[in-house]
Amino acid sequence: MSRALAWTRQHPILLGLTSLVVLLLLSGLHHPDPHAGTFQFPGLLPSSYSPLTPFSQPGTPVFDHSWLTRSQQRRYAHLRSPRIPGSLRLQSGQGKYMFTTLTRNIADQLPDLLNTLYIVVNFLGPRNCYFSIMEGPSDDATPQVLEEVLRPMLLSIGVPASHIILKLRQRHIDFGKVNRISALAMLRNEALAPLWHGWEDTAAVVYFNDVFLNPTDILELLHQHVRAGEAAGKETGITSGLDWWKKKPEYYYDVWVGRTIEGDLFYPMESSWTPSDDLFPTSPKSKEEYANLNPFQVFSTWAGLAVLAATPFLEPHRLRFRRSDGSRDECAASECSLMANDFWKAGWGRVQVVPSVQVSYERNVAEDILEELSKQKKELGWEDGVPPDWRDPHVNWIAEPPQKVRCHPWPDAPGLSANVWENTRWVDPWI
Residue pair 151/167 in contact (Cβ under 8 Å)? The answer is no
Nearby residues of 324 by Cβ (< 8 Å), 6 or more positions away: 181, 330, 331, 332, 333, 338, 409
Higher per-residue confidence, 404 vs 7: 404
Residue 36 pLDDT: 33
Sketch out the chain's domains with CATH numbers: 68-427 (3.90.550.10)
Q: What confidence tens digit (pLDDT) does each residue in 154-164 have?
A: 999 999 999 99
Closest CA to 204 of 299, 120, 129: 129
Residue 47 pLDDT: 29
Pairwise CA distance, residues 337 & 4, whole Å: 37
Q: What is the enclosing helix (H) or strand (E) of 59?
A: none
Q: Is the omega angle on the peptide bond into residue 402 within 30 degrees of 0, that is, cis? A: no
Q: Residue 14 pLDDT > 70, yes or no?
A: no
Pairwise CA distance, residues 369 & 204, whole Å: 26
Pairwise CA distance, residues 340 & 237, whole Å: 8
Pairwise CA distance, residues 182 & 43, whole Å: 37
Q: Mean pLDDT check: name the lowest of 30-34, 47-51, 100-104, 310-314.
A: 47-51
Q: What is the pTM of this model?
A: 0.88
End-to-end alpha-carbon separation of the chain, Å? 52
Residue 271 pLDDT: 74
Closest CA to 107 of 140, 74, 156: 140
Q: What confidence tens digit (pLDDT) does each residue in 28-73 have?
A: 443 333 233 332 333 222 222 233 233 334 468 999 877 899 999 9
Average pLDDT over residues 171-187: 94
Question: Could you tell me how far CA 409 lies from the centroid of its own chain?
Answer: 24
Average pLDDT over residues 318-336: 96
pLDDT band at 184 (very low <50, low <70, confident <90, very high): very high
Residue 3 pLDDT: 45
* Cα distances (Å, whole numbers) of residue 161 to 58, 118, 127, 131: 29, 16, 10, 10
Pairwise CA distance, residues 104 & 278, whole Å: 32
Nearby residues of 309 by Cβ (< 8 Å), 6 or more positions away: 84, 204, 205, 235, 236, 237, 238, 343, 348
Q: What confidence tens digit (pLDDT) does each residue in 215-267 have?
A: 999 999 999 999 999 999 999 999 999 999 999 899 999 999 999 999 999 99
